[in-house]
Chains A and B, each alone.
Chain A
Amino acid sequence: MRNFDGKNGSLRMMKFLLKVYSPQFRRRFGDDLLGTIKSRLEVAAHKGKVVYVAVWVKMVLSMFGEGLRDRVSGLSRGRSSPRNSRIGASSDIGMDLWWALRSVVRAPGYSILIVGLLAVTIGANTAVFSVVNSILFDSLPYENSEDIQLLCETDPEGGGFCSNSFVNVADWNRRASNYVAIAAARGWSHNMSNGGRSEAVSVGLADQEIFNVFAFQPTIGRLFQRSDRAQAVTVLTHDAWRSRFGEDPSAIGSTISLDDESYEIIGVLPPGAEVPGMRGVAMWLPIRFDSADPENRNWRGFRAFGRLKSGVAPDPARQELTAIARALASEYPETNLGWGVSTRPLKDWVVGDSRTTLLAFLGAVALVLLVGCANITHLILTRTTRRSREIAIRSAIGAAPFRVSRMLLFENLWLGMGGALFGWFVASAGVSVFVALAPAAIPRLHEVSMDWRAALFLTIVTAISSIAVGLIPAVKGVRTNVEAALRTEGRGSTGSNRAAQSGLIVAEVALSLVLLLGAGLLMKTFTKFNQWSPGFETSGLLTTWVLASDAKYESGFDVSRLFLAATERIEAVPGVVSAGTASAGPLFGGGDGTVSAAPAGSLDDGGSEGVQLNWFDVGPGYLETLGVSLVAGRVFSEGDNRLAEPVAVLNRSAAARLFGSEAAVGKRVRMSERGSEVEVVGVVDDVTPLTPGEATAPEIYWPNLQRPRYASFLLIRVGGDQPTLVVPAIEAALADLDPDLSVATFATMEDRLGVRLVRPKFNALLISVFGLVAGALACVGIAGVVSFSVTGRMRELGVRKMLGATETSVLKMVMGETLRPIVAGLVGGLVGAVILSRFLTSMIFDLSPTDPATYSITVAAFTLVATVACWVPARMASRADPMIALRGD
């Protein structure tokens, strides 16, 4: 028999639902009922998951309904006519449904309000559920995706990077017995010649095993084989096949030119066949570097993925890999000493830190639903009380109490169905808005969709909330005192009603305060991000990156001369102030990596004890263009080329870490990389880290005239307000210099800063919207309760005023009654927020999750608004003319 994880949970849920029944029923039939339910679920489990879930939902609903009937029949016993407890007699359900529908349609304002509230709250919940479900809970779109792992070589220095040497990965694949396949992959850029113009394309470099790891089958042609290693062949992605070849099958066997070398197209991947973290790759090439070269074993620049053989547990597999890594370390101590290996389920890595964010969204939207439900309960309760006369008449002419309750529940059912229907549209719209606005950093956004699980979720939430909002009113309907109701003309608000409404206010205020506090913290985080200043002037900076053709420039030094010429050409463009090149930089995307460095001549000689420095290859003019101020010494000039002494510039943090308080300029630094030494010629100021609160990283800058690279970022400072105006002139200048030079799109530094703000902005926006909706609902609820309660008490208030009560004292009395539950709600909300705040820690920066300033401002603001919401109707009541109030009866 198939075993579903949820089974114990299912039974627990049923056990919980038993509480709906009367204690007498539970005593007599509880165990038996659960036993029978178990049998039913077991039979359903044999028929697959879908049937199981359907049966489960049906049973939950029927448990709830039958339990209520049991309760209601218990309440009515003794008062009702014997026919009602009889087992005979035909059902009047149809009639009651019809009457309920009629009563809903005849109160259009009320019905539209409730359907609207339900549609918005249920719709928002379904939308967020769909997003969370697709991203967090759906399996990745690969065959048996749970068997795929991300493998990482672990750094002897404990760095958290996950990068691997493709040579080591190939050894793992050969030696490991627990894996179907292990493969290394990384992105790469090539110049593709296309009818005289060249274009930079993003390609994936991978072991031939990569397609076995992800179990891709070719659409046409074939995928890599072992014999393809070192061959100039390529496999196109479906997108590239469509956009470049119009899905023409004859593309197989033809060649494309990358960096002036011809590659034969051997196959096409199916649509959507993507390797995680490598979206946008147009084609795949086999890794053709020499694996015998120790430099390559030491080059840890690849991601590694492995597919476990089916049935193999992750633990033994990891132990085997660790043993292999240890063996490799003893075979190649130069490059592998101390390196271990770690494994991680692929989905874990793909979903990453979005998990807490998304779950926080789900929690927040659920709170909105609760506040919405509390509000709807208010409305229904108010209406039921107003209708107590109608209900009393029904009872007086012979309607059994349970029939009255059932009709009230049926009304909610109709309203709930309306809410669900419109809620589905709200949810579809919500999902589209979410996907459109969500930052690209949230993974799997393109997989988000609304499916049958969203429909199921919507149904369950609707059913539960319509029953929940109707529960108190339905029970009250049963308990209506016929005589009293007929006498007071259905205007009164009874004591128990007031208690129920106070309870609802407490809940609404508490829940919305939790949301508003969360929203406050996220807004403050966003403001902090927004105010971040990197320590250089960001306006007037243009960025792009360029890639030189490696077929055209044989040595790296030719390339560095090309880049030098490029910056000179750019600086000649009118409007450009200065230009520089760098391998990486602030906001360009991290850095290339770290190097371990130590003062030359010191004992450890740059070994594992050295200081880890982020390194950057920069051209002359880069530091000036960025506007980083010089602390000591000098920056690079054209003279710092391969003929000159190797030199470097440190930032302030690096100088302090390496040399303490001594002057760094003139000292020599020894680096682990190739055991080289450089002389420090200058020290520049630190660039503020991108994340507020993060420590400044020590950095070392090398001149790229001494350490050339084929790809480089370009940084251009432009005078004037609109830096992008000079882009066409720069592009023309670069094309004139070398038509084969690939130039990416230009972006201003401010745009890049903006991109970084998208995620905190989105978090703050979404939770703020939820918080404001909940807060507004709570205030509307408060105002409604107060005005309803004073309308019902006009006569009492009139008498009080006749007896000498002043407007102020009446106002005080009414306000006092409502402020009590508001204060209780505020206290509850604060406690709840403190408890829940830890879920926000990953979303807020440089801020305590219980930041006193945010808390006090939010609480003060909310208290003010809530007080106004209660003051307005209270004041109207206190000003009413006592005579009119008295005559009104």
Chain B
Amino acid sequence: MTEFEEYLPLKPEFFHILLALEDDELHGWGIIKRVEENTSGGITLEPSQLYRRLKKLSDDGIVGAAPHESGTDERRRYYCLTKKGRGVLRAEAARLVALGTDARVRRLAGP
């Protein structure tokens, strides 16, 4: 078991928060909107739900605060994936893909 697999399986909201941060540093509202886009509205996070999850993720060292860049909104904190976070996200992605390649799962899902 790698250090990342300890966190698996990820709950869907956590997975999508990490996915949202995968290619961008985002502030809270940005994460909410991105998750909503990525799941076509399937997951709508309330701000309070998001931040308690962010707290957990940052407690576990999976998400960190991004350094300021010029041009971004300075009043807001931006979040990014840590190295560990990328590892966890990759491990969960691999787990999902592995599930997808399981013939029984594919059969259950239908054509």
Interface residues of A (CB under 8 A from B): 25, 28-29, 32-33, 35-37, 39-40, 58-59, 62-63, 65-67, 69-70, 85-91
Contact = CB atoms under 8 A, between A and B. Distances in A.
B79 to A, nearest CB: 9
A36 B50 contact: yes
Given A35-B76, A59-B47, A88 B9 contact: yes
Contacts of B28: 32-33, 35-36
Q: Is the interface of A mostly helix, strand, loop or mixed?
A: helix
Contact of A67 (B48, B56, B62): B48
A33 B51 contact: yes
B19 to A, nearest CB: 14
Contacts of B107: none
A632 B59 CA distance: 97
B47 A88 contact: no
Given A33-B47, A87-B14, A39 B29 contact: yes
Residue of A39, A59, A87, A88 ringed by the most chain B CB atoms within 10 A: A87
Contacts of A91: 11
B48 A62 contact: yes
Interface residues of B, number: 29
Q: Is the interface of B mostly helix, strand, loop or mixed?
A: helix
B29 A85 contact: no
6 contacts: A28-B58, A39-B29, A62-B49, A66-B49, A88-B14, A89-B9
Contacts of B76: 32, 35
B46 A29 contact: no
A67 B52 CA distance: 8
A176 to B, nearest CB: 50
Contact of B60 (A39, A58, A87): A87
Contacts of A86: 7
B54 interface: yes
Contacts of B55: 25, 28-29, 70
A59 B46 contact: yes
Given A58-B46, A62-B46, A66-B48, A88 B32 contact: no
A88 B48 contact: no
Given A29-B55, A36-B51, A87 B46 contact: no
Contacts of A90: 11
A28 B51 CA distance: 10
Contacts of B46: 40, 58-59, 62-63, 66
A83 to B, nearest CB: 11
Contacts of A65: 48
Contacts, number: 77
Contacts of B54: 29
B60 A37 contact: no
Interface in B1-57: 7-11, 14, 27-29, 32, 46-57
A801 to B, nearest CB: 53
Nearest to A28: B55
Nearest to A59: B46
B68 interface: no
Given A39-B29, A59-B47, A66 B52 contact: yes
A88 B10 contact: yes
A69 B53 CA distance: 11
Nearest to A29: B51
A35 B49 CA distance: 14
Contacts of A67: 48
B77 interface: yes
Interface in B50-102: 50-60, 62, 75-77
Contacts of A33: 28, 47-48, 51
Nearest to B88: A87
Contacts of A63: 46, 48
B46 to A, nearest CB: 4
A67 B55 CA distance: 12
Contacts of B47: 33, 36-37, 40, 59
A86 B53 CA distance: 11
A555 to B, nearest CB: 80
Residue of B47, B49, B52, B57 ringed by the most chain A CB atoms within 10 A: B47
Contacts of A37: 47-48
A614 B10 CA distance: 85
Contacts of A29: 51, 54-55
A405 to B, nearest CB: 16
A36 B56 contact: no
Given A36-B27, A87-B60, A70 B14 contact: no
Nearest to A35: B76
Contact of A69 (B14, B52, B75): B52
Nearest to A64: B48
Given A40-B32, A59-B46, A88-B11, A32 B52 contact: no
Contacts of B75: 35
Contacts of A70: 52, 55
Nearest to A42: B29
Contacts of B62: 87
A62 B11 CA distance: 18
A36 B76 CA distance: 9
Contacts of B7: 86-88
A92 to B, nearest CB: 12
A37 B32 CA distance: 11
